[in-house]
Structure 1
């Protein structure tokens, strides 16, 4: 019987850059403004990203663009998802018997203040994150934009979809 050993170096890690975006804009509006500032054409995906947290499945919308010439794949992902649940009130009172509760779920819980992420997959030499962040900062409704270090992410498995 032969024994095969696997080394960590045998697995290729997907190269990607992650940019955090803080804004109050809706997902389709921020995608529109990003398309205006960068030479890309983000379009909404029909399938959402499903993440299971606290026995609750949450769907996050995202937008994609594939630059075939440069072999770069762009993804705009929302980080926050608010889900409203109606719960029956067991106490008797004069008001409505159902109460609405809102839960907020995060794609990357360690970065709760971030509204959207721009994930750029491809050769690191072709991606100039400083130039991209500077262009995104020119969008009026964007509060702040900055690159995220992959080493500070605890739930980076949520970015695999």
Structure 2
């Protein structure tokens, strides 16, 4: 009988590219602008990315497009969101015993706190010109900058599994 061994290093392989986007646009406006520049059709995905932290849980918006012909998947993902939780102030004074809403910023990838959105491109081949995609994104007037992120330097890779 043949013995088959699995190398765990095979499962750790990253098969996507990540482009960081800095912009002040709302997510739906950014998706529309990207659809105008690139030959894709990003649409709002109902399956948002959920992150739980000690203050509560939040969901990051996600726009999705699957190119059936090339078998490439595109995801536009929000990086910054907020968790609003109640805080009781039991101190002494004029404003004691008040319930205060406290907002905490949450990041999908905390090591990139200044990035507003990520464009995740999965199942790409060598023929895809990532620098051309970046330059096309940088031509969008409302995007401050767009650049490629080295995926092997990301500490919170598990947040990108969805």
Tell me if TM exceeds 0.5.
yes
C-alpha separation in 1, matches of 2:84 and 2:98: 16
- Corresponding residue number in structure 2 for 1:77: 77
Q: Is the contact made by 1:14 and 1:121 (CA closer than 8 Å) also made in structure 2?
A: no
Cα offset for 1:12?
7.3
State how many pairs are aligned.
160
Q: Deviations over 1:6-60 (max 9, x none)?
A: 3135547351110000011111111111111111110001121112233633211
C-alpha separation in 2, matches of 1:146 and 1:158: 20
Runs of 4+ in 1 over 6 A off after TM superposition: none
**Unpaired runs of at least 5, structure 1:** none
C-alpha separation in 1, matches of 2:156 and 2:25: 25
Q: Is the contact made by 2:22 and 2:145 (CA closer than 8 Å) also made in structure 1?
A: yes
Kindly tell me: are residues 135 and 86 of structure 1, through their superposed partners in 2, closer, same or farther at Cα, counting changes over 3 Å? same
Secondary structure, aligned partner of 1:13:
coil
- Corresponding residue number in structure 1 for 2:118: 117
Secondary structure, aligned partner of 2:126:
helix
Kindly tell me: are residues 8 and 60 of structure 1, through their superposed partners in 2, closer, same or farther at Cα, counting changes over 3 Å? same
**Unpaired runs of at least 5, structure 2:** none
Kindly tell me: are residues 145 and 4 of structure 1, through their superposed partners in 2, closer, same or farther at Cα, counting changes over 3 Å? same
Cα offset for 1:128?
1.4
Q: Is the contact made by 1:89 and 1:97 (CA closer than 8 Å) also made in structure 2?
A: yes
CA RMSD in angstroms, aligned pairs only: 2.2
Query: Which TM-score applies when normalising by structure 1?
Result: 0.89
Cα offset for 1:3?
8.0
Query: Which TM-score applies when normalising by structure 2?
Result: 0.88
Cα offset for 1:4?
6.2
